[in-house]
Structure 1
Amino acid sequence: MSGEGKVVCVTGASGYIASSLVKLLLDCGYTVHATVRSLDDPNKTQHLLALDGAKERLSLFEANLTVEGSFDSAVDGCLCVFHTASPVLLSVDDPQIQLIDPAVKGTLNVLKSAAKVQSLKRVVLTSSMSAVMFGSRLLEHGVIMDETWFSDPLICEQKKLWYPLSKILAEDAAVKFANENGLELVFINPGYVIGPFFQPTLNITSEGIMSLIKNKKEVMSNGIYRLVDVRDVATAHILAFENPEANGRYCMVGNVVRSIEIMKIVEKLYPSLGDSKRYKDEKCDEPLPYNVSRTKAESLGVNFTPVEVSIKDTIESLKEKNLLSF
């Protein structure tokens, strides 16, 4: 991957996936326009400005998802927009205002800005496996989810699955706009993202892994995680831009595992964190209820990181930031 002389934009750059994407883009030689909600918030900016190459090739822009035209200056002169900005909230009081509007209207605002730029033809949009898996098809043993699966907005609404609803509605709106305005659009659909992080504050998925470790005595072997390394997700975004054949959606799940398997890996890597009496001999013979195809992502050029490496690097990041002690 080589980005020398190429200018790209990353929205929501302070986030977990976006920070890793900005780092990789800079490492590959790209010049990056990065948007954040506030230039005055060091939690949104300092970890980006500290990256190698940031001084020479990173420019920060303030932008708001709900304000049309907010992204105009950031996308100006860019070849591609990586749109990662979207709220990740599992509990909301007002799903329309807190999740759906920022996801859908925010995506359309970014695409409207992109459509004004003559040099810009492709947008790579960060979606989610939650836009894939909540449809009418049954998740049962032997089933393999792939890019042809779509969450059903009606089912999401009935079950009050507001985050999946925001992601599938954003996908639908983006496809309609791109078709009407001649933009190339590629979706990256990550599962449960783990791996090292740069932000000073705890992100929601790393917090989930930390909670799993801390509450190890309450771990249920039937908890299912669709794990993917954040670095693989960042790589997929860049490959989706660089490969002219890239199209549609890409499911990004390295491993579907039970929580008991995660804890067995933790116990093996960090005996002081695990609980050997509980996990050493415990077996989970029940087959996984489903799996996720890696075929399309691998055809793009993604080489998935081994799950043990991802878990180790997640824990090391938590330890480095004094969020987990052992």
Structure 2
Amino acid sequence: MVERLRYRLEIGDGAGSCFRNQRYRVVESRHWAVGISVRGWSVSSSNAATPFTPPSKISIDLLHYDSIVAAVTGANGVFHLASPNIIDQVHDPEKELLDPAIKGTNSVLTAAKELGVRRVAVTSSISAITPSRYWPADVVKDENCWADIDYCKTKGLWYPLSKTLAEKAAWEFAKEKGLDVVVVNPGTVLGPILPPALNASMLVILRLLQGIAQI
């Protein structure tokens, strides 16, 4: 039986990352029906054994719940993959990083619960684990280790803060609502990307090759 899965890449910057692209190729190789949802960009799988044709354009805004409902409807599983990562100066942390990550995660999980999705796989980050300045150096960092929220706020480390708070929100939602949620915390993953635009990770590599010391 073919599972109808929508592989959702919700934020433009994260949509092109190697990790997300490889995840798309994995689900395609299993002949699941796949749909990709991203701000202003959508694609449907040509390899699905049973065709699953999403709307001609699935547009998602993580801060608009109805757009998430439209993307999740009909799916048995959801991969919640991307949240913004800004290499340059962040001018409005709440608007640019925190709200899309935290409120967006809660909205995706809420829609999944209401629409009967069986499982949501959330991509967190190693940035939700470190910096963890008080964690003992000789102890393996496990699910009990979190990035230091106060330190992130003091140092203006908005991406680690957004990923930490978003993952905490995901686990809290799963506990309270009984939704099957799994989380993966990848480090930096580099490789081929699908869209022509550079994502944040690849932009770092480009700037290093260009001899730009300040990243």
The equivalent of 2:134 in structure 1 is 137
Structure with more relative contact order (C-alpha pairs < 8 Å, separation 6 or more): 2
Q: Once the 2 structures are TM-superposed, how far is the Cα of residue 139 of structure 1 from its aligned partner?
A: 7.9
The equivalent of 1:207 in structure 2 is 203
In structure 1, list runs of 5 or more residues that go unmatched: 39-43, 219-326
Tell me the amino acid that sits aligned with residue 121 of structure 2.
V
Supply the distance in 1 between the matched residues of 2:109 and 2:80 (Cα, whole angstroms). 9
Asked if 1:109 is matched to 2:107, the reply is yes
Name which of 162, 168, 181 aligns with 1:166. Answer: 162
Q: TM-score, normalised by structure 1?
A: 0.57
The equivalent of 2:2 in structure 1 is 5
Is the alpha carbon distance of 1:197 and 1:115 closer, same or farther for their aligned partners in structure 2, counting shifts above 3 Å? same
Q: Work out whether residues 31 and 48 of structure 2, in 8 Å CA contact, stay in contact via their aligned partners in 1.
A: no
The equivalent of 2:95 in structure 1 is 97
Q: Secondary structure at the residue paired with 1:145?
A: coil
Asked if 1:182 is matched to 2:174, the reply is no
Is the alpha carbon distance of 1:194 and 1:143 closer, same or farther for their aligned partners in structure 2, counting shifts above 3 Å? farther
The equivalent of 1:244 in structure 2 is none
Supply the distance in 2 between the matched residues of 1:123 and 1:204 (Cα, whole angstroms). 24
The equivalent of 2:148 in structure 1 is 152
Q: Once the 2 structures are TM-superposed, how far is the Cα of residue 160 of structure 1 from its aligned partner?
A: 1.1
Q: Work out whether residues 23 and 52 of structure 1, in 8 Å CA contact, stay in contact via their aligned partners in 2.
A: no
Tell me the amino acid that sits aligned with residue 206 of structure 2.
M
**Greater CA radius of gyration, 1 or 2?**
1
In structure 2, list runs of 5 or more residues that go unmatched: none
Q: Work out whether residues 34 and 58 of structure 1, in 8 Å CA contact, stay in contact via their aligned partners in 2.
A: no
Asked if 1:67 is matched to 2:64, the reply is yes
Q: Work out whether residues 16 and 197 of structure 2, in 8 Å CA contact, stay in contact via their aligned partners in 1.
A: no
Is the alpha carbon distance of 1:202 and 1:111 closer, same or farther for their aligned partners in structure 2, counting shifts above 3 Å? same
Supply the distance in 2 between the matched residues of 1:147 and 1:194 (Cα, whole angstroms). 24
Supply the distance in 2 between the matched residues of 1:15 and 1:58 (Cα, whole angstroms). 22
The equivalent of 1:87 in structure 2 is 84
Q: Whose strand fraction is larger, Structure 1's or Structure 2's?
A: 1
Q: Once the 2 structures are TM-superposed, how far is the Cα of residue 33 of structure 1 from its aligned partner?
A: 2.8
Q: Work out whether residues 60 and 68 of structure 2, in 8 Å CA contact, stay in contact via their aligned partners in 1.
A: yes
Per-residue CA distance 1:211-264 (angstroms, 9 max, x = gap): 323429x7xxxxxxxxxxxxxxxxxxxxxxxxxxxxxxxxxxxxxxxxxxxxxx
The RMSD of aligned alpha carbons is 2.5
Q: TM-score, normalised by structure 2?
A: 0.84
Q: Once the 2 structures are TM-superposed, how far is the Cα of residue 57 of structure 1 from its aligned partner?
A: 4.3
Per-residue CA distance 1:57-111 (angstroms, 9 max, x = gap): 4635211100123211221222211001311113310001100001000111111
* Fraction of identical pairs, as percent: 35
Q: Once the 2 structures are TM-superposed, how far is the Cα of residue 115 of structure 1 from its aligned partner?
A: 0.7
Tell me the amino acid that sits aligned with residue 122 of structure 1.
R
Is the alpha carbon distance of 1:171 and 1:165 closer, same or farther for their aligned partners in structure 2, counting shifts above 3 Å? same
